[in-house]
Amino acid sequence: MQTNFLVIGSGISGLNFALQAAKKGKVVIVTKKKLVDSNTNFAQGGIAAVLDQTDNFEKHIEDTLKTGTYHNNKKAIEFMVKNSADAIYRLIDLGVKFQKENGKLSLTKEGGHSHRRIAFVGDYTGKEIERILVKRVKEHPNITILEDSFALKLLTQKSFLRGKTCVGAQIIRGNKIENIFADQTILSTGGVGQLFLHTTNPPIATGDGIAMASQIGCKIKDMEFIQFHPTALNENTFPKFLISETVRGEGAKLVNEKGERFMSNIHPLKDLAPRDIAAREIYKQQKTSQVFLDIRHKSREYLKKRFPQIYEKLKKLKIDMAKDLIPVTPAAHYECGGIEVDLSGRTNVKNLFAFGEVTCTGVHGANRLASNSLLEALVFSNQVAKNLTSTQAVKKIKIENPKLLKENSKETLLAKKLRQEIKNIMWRYSGIVRNRKKIKKEAIPKMIKIAKYLRKTKGTNQEIAETLNMAQVSLLILKAAYKRRKSIGCHFVEF
């Protein structure tokens, strides 16, 4: 198969790009499950943007820098923030119906923000955006969608003058391995949450894009900065159900078993402190007490209208958020680092671009500001689409395809066991609080052993390849965490 633009991943950034790129050439979208299966679908809160006269760019930029502990790329933040309103209005033009009051966009507040600046759709913003984008993509004649197709590796050519060039990807589709050749290849594969025992991310979030990019020599940056969301529902569910930060934005308080508001003396923003700070305080409290969200001062009618998805989920678990405390716990949520790209989404490998959570633009620094993730995905995918042009199609090259193993093979069954071991290792050694000595002496050797075994497997399939991706990306995180001696943002070191 040959195309102008190959998009790997079907979250907000990939679909948004595909719609615009389809005006310039043929687009193929490869997604390992269904088109709607992405982290975007799980995003409850909203999109941060300067939309109110009492707010301004400087305040949003400063909030982003402060939350990222000034480890950020300020130019990238400025670019994102100044294009934030345009990104919102483009979604409105596509058909996204953000919440309004008296004809104006309703804006809410989340952790780390000094102003109400988050546009939202109930408590299912990501789901609604994904629904609209999927509808538009399916309608477009220039877009081919390959669902249930797993990207195995990126294809490259090397020349003395041009260096390494990406020419497409090798995929597993059904019971066959196929090669797709493309003028430009775009990674929008999302995050890494499934590397951890407890996560808010769906099963697809196994770090595939970062693994594939690192294998062909892409620069990877800031992998140690894993954001743990403070308020995942503390129930025995996998993945963890997220209790959106907007619940605290609308007045919920964090309390312990004694009913004490323990965040009051920790940070000036109290319960709306940045996520890294709130997650660590909950972690400390959990040594002696369960932690809860308390929003019982709000009426049942208000809660059902404002948080319909959360209300119904809790109701099924026999938790009435109008009269009961909501048990919460931190869970792996977002990778602030990733493939290093410039403002135009370029990697250091020619004709390979990336945007969204798979990348490190420098926007988030050492900790992401709430509701900047969907914004970053939109702004940078818009920019890549604006700059890219379709060129003469690359020539097909001969690629040797690996042997495809059956799903019930002994190698596959062992890969499933190793996947669980990876999750346990990462939660224990690269969680909310880290010990560098243990990472070096215990975690890294264990992960190297897992990766070595998987690399030696004669043949592959999605289970084996995904598990190897998880091991490789885990090693990137562990090594980065070991190298970072001092605590900063999401990376907290105990001595």
Q: Could you say which of 117, 248, 275, 434 is catalytic?
A: 275
Residue 435 shares a structural domain with residue 353: no
Pair (252, 236) in one structural domain: yes
What does the angle CA 306 – CA 310 – CA 312 come to, to the nearest 5 degrees?
100
Q: If residue 167 lies in a helix (H) or strand (E), which one and from where to where?
A: strand 163-173
Up-side HSE of residue 321: CA atoms within 13 Å toward CB? 33
- 185 and 297 in a single domain? The answer is no
Q: What is the CA radius of gyration of the chain?
A: 22
Helix 462-483 vs helix 444-456: angle between axes, to the nearest 10 degrees?
Answer: 150
Beta strands 253-256 and 291-294, pairing class: antiparallel
Residue 44 pLDDT: 78
**What pLDDT was estimated at residue 391?**
66
Question: Which CATH number goes with the domain that contains 264?
Answer: 3.90.700.10
Query: In this structure, is residue 329 part of a structural domain?
Result: yes
Which of 333, 348, 380 is the C-terminal boundary of a domain? 333
Range of the domain at 257: 231-333
Q: Kindly report the number of other CB atoms within 10 A of residue 485's CB atom.
A: 9
* 490 within some domain: no
Q: Which residues contact 456 (CB under 8 A, 6 or more apart)?
A: none
Paired tokens of 72: 């950020």
User: Is 434 tagged catalytic?
Assistant: no
Tokens of 388: 């890219």
Same domain, 292 and 422: no
Shared domain for 304 and 384, answered yes or no, is: no
CATH number at residue 462: 1.20.58.100
What is the rounded distance in angstroms from the CA atom of residue 64 to the CA atom of residue 368? 7
Structure tokens at 73: 């790329």
pTM for the model stands at 0.95
Say if CB 244 and CB 372 are below 8 A apart: no
Per-residue pLDDT of the chain (495 residues; tens, 9 = 90+): 999 999 999 999 999 999 999 999 999 999 999 888 787 777 778 999 999 999 999 999 999 999 999 999 999 999 999 999 999 999 999 999 999 998 999 999 988 999 999 999 988 898 999 999 999 999 999 999 999 999 999 999 987 667 899 999 999 998 899 999 999 999 999 999 999 999 999 999 999 999 999 999 999 999 999 999 999 999 988 899 999 999 999 999 999 999 999 999 999 999 999 999 999 999 999 999 999 999 999 999 999 999 999 999 999 999 999 999 999 999 999 999 999 999 999 999 999 999 999 999 999 999 999 999 999 999 999 999 998 876 656 677 888 899 999 989 999 999 999 999 999 999 999 999 999 999 999 999 999 999 999 999 999 999 999 999 999 999 999 999 999 999 999 999 997
- Considering the domain architecture, whether residues 300 and 340 belong to the same structural domain is answered as no
- What is the helix (H) or strand (E) element at residue 254, kind and residue range? strand 253-256
Helix (H) / strand (E) element for 30: namely strand 27-30
Among 333, 361, 378, where does a domain finish?
A: 333
| 101 and 170 together in one domain | yes
Residue 359 lies in a domain: yes
Q: Residue 398, Cβ neighbours under 10 Å: how many?
A: 5
Question: With contact defined as beta carbons under 8 Å apart, do 38 and 404 qualify?
Answer: no
Would residue 50 count as lying in a domain?
yes
Amino acid in position 473: V
Containing 359, the helix (H) or strand (E) segment is strand 359-360
Does 474 fall in a domain? Answer: yes
Answer yes or no: is 488 within a domain. Answer: no
461 and 417 share a domain? yes
What is the number of domains present in the chain? 3
The alpha helices in 216-331, defined as continuous H runs, are 245-249, 275-285, 300-306, 308-316
489 lies in a domain?
no
Within this chain, do residues 121 and 246 fall inside the same structural domain, yes or no?
no
Q: Do 393 and 430 belong together in one domain?
A: no
Tracing tokens 């990376």 back to the chain, one arrives at 491
State the DSSP string of 107-160: EE--TT-SS--EE-STT-HHHHHHHHHHHHHHH-TTEEEE-SEEEEEEEEEEET
Q: Look at residues 401, 426, 452 and tell me which one is the last residue of a structural domain.
A: 401
Task: For residues 218 and 240, state if they share a domain.
Answer: no
| CATH code for the domain in which residue 212 is found | 3.50.50.60
Query: Is 491 part of any domain?
Result: no
CA distances from 342 to 345, 352, 416, 475 (A): 5, 12, 36, 24
C-alpha 204/C-alpha 206 separation (Å) is 6
In a shared domain, residues 140 and 47: yes
